[in-house]
Structure 1
Amino acid sequence: MALLPTISSPAHAAPLPAGFVRLADVDPSIRQDIRYAGLENFLHRKADGYDAPVCILTRQAAKALSTVQKAMTAKGLTLVVFDCYRPAQAVADMGKWTRQGGPPDPQWYPTVQRGDLIAEGYIGELSSHSRGSTVDLAIAETDKKSSAHPACGAPDGGTLDFGTGFDCFDPKSETASALIGAEAAANRKMLLAAMRAAGFRNYAREWWHFTLTKEPFPKQRFDFPVTAN
């Protein structure tokens, strides 16, 4: 009897854990620029666990973020998310990377040794991102998508002036820093006010970092990969 050839079906990602959603399924109008899925980040490579440039959040955080987006859209603006849920394996990857040591990096950490990034509080050995209700983001003009390189941090993807780019590990990134210009300070205040109104709190060391105050998993960290579907 002839044997039929074995046909392997394409692999499908496992369903998201209960309570998690892909942001695009809640609000596809929010621009996504997920940095750790590519090369434009302080690692200069993809982080472990990022199999797609996709924002995943808890349903509560995604819905709250959508309310902020509606307020931005009314002003001709849009949110741009740089990181959302972060697998625990990515956090461990970043920690291991810092321990390899090295000199400052002019783009990402211009005044700090690589091995001191954890001690200085710029990279955490644990991260609220792994709880699924933390997001790193900025605001951009709706019709502007050009990419420029700020003095420190990520290419801005057409964002408004915030004084630094995302993941600039420097005192200028502190939300209330006096080292930035008036326009950047005003834009930070606008982002802060909009996020607070939707129930998010800011991490004072990073103007871009916000966590939902009433997060559903305050003591639980997750490690499923970031996938497109």
Structure 2
Amino acid sequence: MRRPSSAARTPLTVAALAALALTAVPAQAATPAAHTPDAPSPVAHRPTHPSHGQQPTAPREFVALSEVAPTIRQDIRYFTPHNFVGEPVDGYRSPMCLVTEDTARALARAQRAFLRQGYTLKVYDCYRPQRAVDHFVRWAADPEATKMKGEFYPRVAKDRLFEDGYIAEKSGHSRGSTVDLTLAKLPAAPTRPYVPGEPLTPCYAPKDERFPDNSVDAGTGFDCFDTLSHTDDARVTPAQRANRQLLKKGLERQGFTNLPEEWWHFTHEPETFPDTYFDFPVSRRSLTHHH
């Protein structure tokens, strides 16, 4: 039986909720979301293939999260150069979150509960096309591409990323029911833009030293390739552990399961497409057949 969160509930007025809905514009991107230690489904990869000259499109079960849960903040890191690769990732043509409708509705329910407690969800990554995962694999094979090591994997040798499970050739994100996300305490100012070439700070540094993010302190930044990112790692402070558990328990109530190696990684179950890895781009055009 799931116990309710111990976080104090701070009711929001109707006016405050309305204001939040109007201002919940996707925040500037700032960190990556590339860990993909997801165990691949036993069924073979089956991306959607377009007719000649056309881009693949999403099945009707996919929606834009902003249309179902507009108050959830969006900080889509792979659309920007602020990620472990250090450049915008293939397949991210818009800074938007696409997920299956079941996942979006579950996130909307979780968001309503968090808003009552004075928090908002913020997503870093949602559906991830296979071409983006392929980009990660190519990057991992290049020993010279280490310009973001100082932030995202300071204590891990790049040639260990596959063996240690931080990078894989398939990701559950490509099935549409997995999201990377966190919480931000309201009111939450936007995260400032990342400036390419700026000094890097380890993702496990104290919160006031690492890249500024408007999220709660969960012990590491998003997409931190380090064992400190393990949800139940004993080295985090009590306050950091409480923030991780607040997120985890709130999402579990809506059918999400956490990946133990990444405090920010959750999959809504049962998955709408448990055996299919899609490859349509992250863009509004991928959903145009819906209308």
Give the counterpart of 2:252 among 196, 199, 202: 196
Equivalent of residue 37 in structure 1, options 79, 90, 94? 79
Q: Which residue number corresponds to residue 152 of structure 1?
A: 203
User: How far 1:224 sits from its partner (Å)?
Assistant: 0.1
Q: Is 1:214 aligned with 2:270?
A: yes
Q: Which residue is 2:113 aligned to?
A: 71
User: How many residues in Structure 1 have an aligned counterpart in Structure 2?
Assistant: 218
159, 164, 171: which is aligned to 2:220? Answer: 164
Equivalence for 1:26: 68
Cα deviation for residue 115 of structure 1 reads 2.3
1:183–1:30 CA distance, 2 compared to 1 (3 A) = same
Displacement after TM superposition at 1:131 (Å): 0.1
Say which SS state the counterpart of residue 183 (structure 1) adopts.
helix
Q: Deviations over 1:12-71 (max 9, x none)?
A: 987532200000010110000000001111111111000010000000000001111001
Q: Which moved more, 1:116-125 or 1:86-95?
A: 116-125
Structure 2 match to 1:5: none
Deviations 1:87-140 (A, max 9, x none): 000001101100112468120001111222111111221100000000000000
Once the two structures are TM-superposed, the CA of residue 162 in structure 1 deviates from its matched residue by: 0.3
Contact 2:154 2:202 in 1 (8 A): no
Report how far residue 155 of structure 1 moved: 3.7
> What residue ranges of structure 2 are gaps of 5+ in the alignment?
1-53, 193-199, 205-209, 286-291
- Counterpart position of 1:57: 99
Superposed CA RMSD in Å reads: 2.0
Q: Which residue in 2 is equivalent to 1:119?
A: 163
CA separation in 1, counterparts of 2:233 and 2:104?
Answer: 28
Contact residue 150 and residue 156 of structure 1 kept, 8 A: no
Q: Bigger shift: 17-26 or 138-147?
A: 138-147
Taking the aligned partners of 2:152 and 2:218, their CA distance within structure 1 comes to 15
Q: Distance in 2 between matches of 1:74 and 1:166?
A: 24
Judged with a 3 Å threshold, the aligned counterparts in structure 2 of structure 1 residues 155 and 80 are, in CA distance, closer, same or farther, namely: farther
Task: Find the aligned partners of 1:184 and 1:124 in 2 and give their Cα distance.
Answer: 28
Return structure 1 stretches of 4+ with deviation > 6 angstroms: none
2: distance between equivalents of 1:75 and 1:150?
Answer: 31
| 2: CA distance, partners of 1:88 / 1:147 | 28
Cα displacement (A) at 1:146? 5.0
Partner of 1:99: 141
Structure-2 change in CA distance of 1:14 and 1:108 (3 Å): same
Structure 2 SS opposite 1:138? strand
**8 Å Cα contact 1:150/1:165 also seen in 2:** no
| CA distance, structure 2, for counterparts of residue 156 and residue 122 of structure 1 | 23
Stretch deviating more after TM superposition (64-73 or 106-115):
106-115
Structure number with greater CO (CA < 8 Å, separation at least 6) is 2
How far off is 1:156 after superposition?
5.2
* Structure 1 match to 2:176: 132
Paired AA for residue 196 in structure 1: E
